[in-house]
Every structure is written in structure tokens, then in C-alpha cells.
Amino acid sequence: MDNTFMILARGDEAEFDFNVVDNSFIVTVYGFKASFVSENTRVREKLISVAGRTEVILHNVSISCEMKHAIIPANDTNTTGRYITGITSGFMSVLADRDQVDFTFGGDVMASFLNLFQPFYKDLMISVVEESMVESLIEEIPIIVNYESLAIDGYAIAFTDENPKFE
């Protein structure tokens, strides 16, 4: 499934909760705007089977994501044996305010016809979108964060050529 998730506006509020026992932290962001597009949506619910393209704009979304600290190989691990701090994903949840969602479903004739009856199945489709967002983000967030950690060699700040060098 070709899914695209894009954050369109910053959140209103964020919380960080730290868990020393699990060596993890939970980030929760409230009230941001996002879009979700799926080129190949297929939904089967009781007697209804629909395939098509889904476009959703979520005007009020909250995401809660647990990230656990992990050790990842540094760029020079083969020669130095050095490792740096990275993350792995724990649980994640996405909640969209169902009253603030723009939703379109198109594709085959049945999908276009069902768009007329959107209020009856909108909740089901939003749940499918939330699940797809969780699947995508739980896989992508560690890749992005670990890539950035490798880019700055595991340090908290990015070093540039202008920084003093110590030998």
C-alpha cells in the first residue's frame, strides 16, 4: 500500500514523559493538522467491499509515541567498535477528532457511489487511516531519528567545520 502521511501544521501542545525503568520516553503531541493519502485502499466490512484512493485531512490530531533508547552501530564501528545512542519504537497511538476531518474516497464506481453515504462509514475509514498511520510511523520514526543520530555522530549537537577541533 502506498501511504503518505504529512504533517501540515505544528501541534498546539506537547508532553514528554520519561520512564527510567524501561529506559524510554513517551512523546505526545496534541492538536496538529495532518494529511493522509493512500493510493490503494481496500476495505471489506460485512457486505461492503471497496477499493480506491483515500484522501484525508485531519484538522485536530494527537499522536502518542513511546521511544526506547537503544544502541546502534556508529559509522566507524567496523574499525573502532564504537556504538552510539539510537531509538526503537514501542507503542504508538493516533487519535483524530472525528468532527474535524475532511474525507474523500474515490476510485472504482462503488467507491464513488459510497462517497454519497460517507456519514455511515466515515468512522470505520478514519479508524483504518489511524491504524495505517501507526503502522507507517512506528516503522519510520526510528529510521529518521537514528539517521540523524548517525549524521551528528551521536552527539547532542551537530558539529560543523567551523567548530574548534581538539586532537
In a domain, 46, yes or no: yes
What was the pLDDT predicted at 157?
60
Q: What is the mean pLDDT of the chain?
A: 81
In a domain, 108, yes or no: yes
And the C-alpha cell for 2? 502506498
In a domain, 14, yes or no: yes
What range does the domain containing 129 cover?
3-151
| DSSP state letter for 23 | T
In a domain, 97, yes or no: yes
Domain CATH number, residue 95:
3.15.10
What are the tens digits of pLDDT across the range 23-49? 899 999 998 898 888 887 777 767 767
Q: What is the Cβ-side half-sphere exposure of residue 164, based on CA atoms within 13 angstroms?
A: 2
What was the pLDDT predicted at 136?
82
Cβ atoms of 53 and 113 within 8 Å: the answer is no
Its pTM surpasses 0.75 = no
Please tell me the distance from the alpha carbon of residue 122 to that of residue 119, in angstroms, as a whole number. 5
Total domains present in the chain: 1
In the predicted structure, residue 67 carries a pLDDT above the cut 60: yes
Which bin fits 23, alpha (ψ -120 to 50), beta or left (φ > 0)? left
In a domain, 144, yes or no: yes
What was the pLDDT predicted at 5?
78
Nearest to 111 by CA among 30, 29, 54, 34: 54
In a domain, 164, yes or no: no
In a domain, 156, yes or no: no
Distance of CA 79 to the CA centre of its chain: 34
Q: Which alpha helices (H) appear in 15-162, and where do they start and end?
A: 77-80, 109-114, 118-151
And the C-alpha cell for 85? 545512542
And the C-alpha cell for 136? 507507517
Distance of CA 43 to the CA centre of its chain: 21
Sign of CA dihedral 81, 85, 88, 91: positive
Using DSSP's 3-state secondary structure scheme, residue 129 falls into helix
